[in-house]
Amino acid sequence: MNLVLAHRVDAVLFDVDDTLIDYLAARRRGIVDFVAELGVSVDEAVMYAEWLRLEELYYDRFLAGELDWIGQRRARLRDLLRWLGAAEPADDAESDHWFARIWAGCARAIELYPDVEPCLTRLADGSVSTGVVTNNVPQMTIVKLAAAGLDQRFPVVISVSDEIRGKPDPRIFLAGCAALGVPPERTMYVGDRLGTDAVGARDAGMIGVWLDRTNGAGRSGSGPVELPPGVIRIGSLGEL
Ligand SMILES: [Mg+2]
């Protein structure tokens, strides 16, 4: 907390998934409903863990430029269906159609965390600029923010694109600061991923804040994590 008080903060940039929206719950709904429609019987928690593992694997490859965005979706779905022992789509068009069903179920389930609105209201009262910097592609960012009722809320929204590489590349964080017109050292970045978000922001010269909603349990229940120097940990946006 001393670190926060030692800094003048003129702007706060937020991550989106699992920081503003409960994306863990939403995408679980989407994939669980899809697998149920396939008629496959599987342990829901084990299947969801595999789905998250595949997402991490292939989305990271997309962010690294090894796969395009649609390619990482097809690969994730193909691998999950093989893991389930289920029939695979006949072609790319069918794969995209199936993924669209998964995504539709996910989008319907998107909800804001309850601490978001009070936090944004409080920041607005303090004349602090706000925005989002996300590793989503623009079309997904727009849909997610709209589903959460936040589409008119942020003057600055930075997504990954052909020109902007994803976090933890410092340039995406700095693009957010530049768009707000606030120097990085006076800009706080808040995200649920310690390395990608908080350490990445710190390394870009910002105030990196790790939103640890697991209350020290770790994202996969792996237990307490040692906090890197220069990073602030909060348990909810109410602490911001
Ligand atoms: Mg996140």
CB 187 within 8 A of CB 180: yes
Q: How far is the CA of 45 from the centre of ligand 1 (A)?
A: 20
CATH fold of the domain at 24-108: DNA polymerase; domain 1 (1.10.150)
Protein residues with C-beta less than 5 angstroms from the ion ligand 1:
15, 17-18, 192
Q: How far is the CA of 162 from the centre of ligand 1 (A)?
A: 20
Q: How far is the CA of 84 from the centre of ligand 1 (A)?
A: 27
Q: How far is the CA of 91 from the centre of ligand 1 (A)?
A: 31
Separation of alpha carbons 128 and 176, rounded Å: 14
Strands ordered across the beta sheet of 231-234: 156-158, 129-133, 11-14, 187-191, 207-211, 231-234
Mean pLDDT, all residues of the chain: 93
* Mean pLDDT, residues 18-46 taken together: 96
Least confident range from 43-52, 60-69, 108-117, 208-217: namely 208-217
* Mean pLDDT, residues 55-83 taken together: 96
Separation of alpha carbons 113 and 143, rounded Å: 17
Q: What is the pTM of this model?
A: 0.92
Q: Cα separations (Å) of 225 from 59, 150, 156, 181, 208?
A: 24, 31, 31, 34, 16
CATH fold of the domain at 2-22+111-239: Rossmann fold (3.40.50)
Name the residue ranges covered by the structural domains of the chain: 2-22+111-239, 24-108
Q: How far is the CA of 15 from the centre of ligand 1 (A)?
A: 6
Is the predicted pLDDT of residue 1 greater than 60, yes or no? no
179-226 pLDDT tens trace: 999 999 999 999 999 999 999 999 999 999 999 998 766 665 666 788
Q: How far is the CA of 46 from the centre of ligand 1 (A)?
A: 21
117-163 pLDDT tens trace: 999 999 998 789 999 999 999 999 999 999 999 999 999 999 999 89
**pLDDT reported for residue 226:** 86
Nearest to 18 by CA among 181, 214, 168: 214
* Mean pLDDT, residues 97-108 taken together: 96
* Mean pLDDT, residues 25-44 taken together: 96
The tokens describing 218, both together, are 């770790």
Nearest to 29 by CA among 111, 102, 80: 102
Q: How far is the CA of 87 from the centre of ligand 1 (A)?
A: 32
